[in-house]
Chain A
Amino acid sequence: MKLNERSVAHYALSDSPADHVGFLRTWGGPGTPPTPSGTGRRCWFVLKGNLLFSFESREGRAPLSLVVLEGCTVELAEAPVPEEFAFAIRFDAPGVRPHLLAADGPAAQEAWVKALSRASFGYMRLVVRELESQLRDARQSLALHRRSSWKAVTSRCKPQAPDRWSPGLENGHTLSRDCSPTGLVEEGGSRPAGRGLAEWELQGPANLLLGRGQSPVSPETSCFSTLHDWYGQEIMELRRAWLQRAQGSRPEREGQDRP
């Protein structure tokens, strides 16, 4: 089977970050003729992603071998005496002999076993997908938290709201009465006749509340519920005035319910 070996070797030697490096003794893997003493051949190993390369030395200009770390498990192993700190890369594929490797000490052995166990493409893909969904969740809960912190402000607002609103409401009622078409006419046109009634009505409650140093765009109204109430009040006033006008135009009707 062909492989783009030149590119693979180039990748091995490139300065892309290695995931683990170190000296290991090796037997029975590809590119490892048996040593006379049977002690395993000492090579410089470089792990990049799911690829384990070996070199004759740290300065090696070409990899001796490549082990592709897919479909395998890594476990501690019994080494041929007198070696210790051995581990094996065992493949699921039939007819593939396990690669036996030995580190220089227990810490190195543990580090290699860990690094090699997590080297597969599949493992990396799992971690990436997990983080992807964690980020999505984190962003969603951040957005929710912002919304609910509005609610938290609302619940602080609420006890105050009736106090703030009731005088306003009363005044609004008063104003509304004064501002009804009949009221306007009675007052002898305190407003320019050309001015739209609707506009005036709209300004009524808002003007009142603005007078109290509140406005839809002041910092205090960062609470959505407060904003909602603002415009709700305006709408209620408008509706009331409209209904009064509607009833005012039919004064003979009896039993008509007032809003």
Chain B
Amino acid sequence: MRYNEKELQALSRQPAELAAELGMRGPKKGSVVKRRLVKLVVNFLFYFRTDEAEPVGALLLEHCKVAQEEPSGFSISFVEDPERKYRFECHSEEQCQEWIGALRRASYEFMRRSLIFYRNEIQKVTGKDPLEQFGISEEARFQLSGLQA
């Protein structure tokens, strides 16, 4: 699958939701922990060698599961292969919780669900569709049916 790598690299330079140096271990068996600068930008998690400007890689954070891993780390795995985990080590429980929370909220799917929820609640309270003012009430992505996916 081809993808616009240059554009993704540009994205990795954008302001991050969260960024920190963490220990990172790839999903392959026997992989070792490496220090990486990890950066959360929109629904992508970029990871850099600590002294390089271009990312080593990126993880798209859709349909992923973020789990706490003892003692103070977390893992990211994906729906199609839950045992294949990218592992990260934090320096504290607090930092770990911060990352887990941010990563769980980082997907477009999560935002879509939030939007549908708020739209519904506002309609209940005011009787009006708040998306009408944006002219986007008919768009597929904002429909209640989207919650079933």
Residues of A within 8 A of B (CB): 1-11, 14-20, 29-31, 48-51, 62-68, 70-72, 91-93, 95-96, 115, 118, 121-122, 124-125, 127-128, 130-132, 134-135, 138-139, 142
Asked if B146 and A124 make an inter-chain contact with CB atoms under 8 angstroms apart, the answer reads no
By a CB distance below 8 angstroms, the chain B residues around A70 are 7, 11, 14, 42
Asked if A49 and B1 make an inter-chain contact with CB atoms under 8 angstroms apart, the answer reads no
Asked if A7 and B4 make an inter-chain contact with CB atoms under 8 angstroms apart, the answer reads no
Checking A4, A15, A50 against B108 with a beta-carbon cut-off of 8 angstroms, the contacting residue is A50
Asked if B4 and A68 make an inter-chain contact with CB atoms under 8 angstroms apart, the answer reads yes
B16 in the interface, Cβ–Cβ < 8 Å?
no
B35 in the interface, Cβ–Cβ < 8 Å?
no
Instruction: Choose the segment among B51-59, B66-74, B87-95 that binds chain A (4+ C-beta atoms closer than 8 Å).
Output: B51-59
Asked if A50 and B43 make an inter-chain contact with CB atoms under 8 angstroms apart, the answer reads yes
Chain B, range 1-36, C-beta contacts under 8 Å to A: 1-11, 14
Asked if B130 and A134 make an inter-chain contact with CB atoms under 8 angstroms apart, the answer reads yes
Asked if A49 and B115 make an inter-chain contact with CB atoms under 8 angstroms apart, the answer reads no
B119 in the interface, Cβ–Cβ < 8 Å?
yes
Asked if A71 and B10 make an inter-chain contact with CB atoms under 8 angstroms apart, the answer reads yes
Q: How many residues of chain B are within 8 Å of chain A by beta carbon?
A: 52
Residue of B nearest to A95 (CB): B6
Asked if A124 and B112 make an inter-chain contact with CB atoms under 8 angstroms apart, the answer reads yes
For the complex, give the distance between the alpha carbons of A31 and B1 in Å: 8
Asked if B146 and A3 make an inter-chain contact with CB atoms under 8 angstroms apart, the answer reads no
Asked if A15 and B14 make an inter-chain contact with CB atoms under 8 angstroms apart, the answer reads no
Residues of B within 8 A of A (CB): 1-11, 14, 42-44, 54-60, 62-64, 78-81, 108-109, 111-112, 114-115, 118-119, 121-122, 125-126, 130-131, 134, 136, 139-141, 143, 145-146, 149
For the complex, give the distance between the alpha carbons of A251 and B106 in Å: 80
Residue of B nearest to A53 (CB): B1
Q: How far is the CB of A52 from chain B (nearest CB, A)?
A: 10
By a CB distance below 8 angstroms, the chain A residues around B43 are 49-50, 121
Q: List 25 A-B contacts (CB under 8 A).
A: A1-B54, A3-B59, A5-B1, A7-B60, A8-B60, A30-B2, A49-B109, A49-B112, A50-B108, A51-B62, A63-B1, A65-B3, A66-B2, A67-B4, A68-B3, A70-B42, A91-B10, A93-B7, A96-B7, A96-B10, A121-B42, A121-B111, A128-B115, A131-B115, A138-B122
By a CB distance below 8 angstroms, the chain A residues around B139 are 19, 115, 118
Q: How far is the CB of B121 from chain A (nearest CB, A)?
A: 5
Q: Given A31-B2, A49-B109, A65-B2, A3 and B118 touching (CB < 8 A)?
A: no
For the complex, give the distance between the alpha carbons of A134 and B149 in Å: 26
By a CB distance below 8 angstroms, the chain B residues around A3 are 3, 8, 57-60
By a CB distance below 8 angstroms, the chain B residues around A1 are 5, 8-9, 54-58
By a CB distance below 8 angstroms, the chain A residues around B54 are 1
Q: Given A3-B57, A124-B108, A92 and B10 touching (CB < 8 A)?
A: yes
For the complex, give the distance between the alpha carbons of A63 and B2 in Å: 8
Residue of B nearest to A65 (CB): B2
By a CB distance below 8 angstroms, the chain B residues around A122 are 42
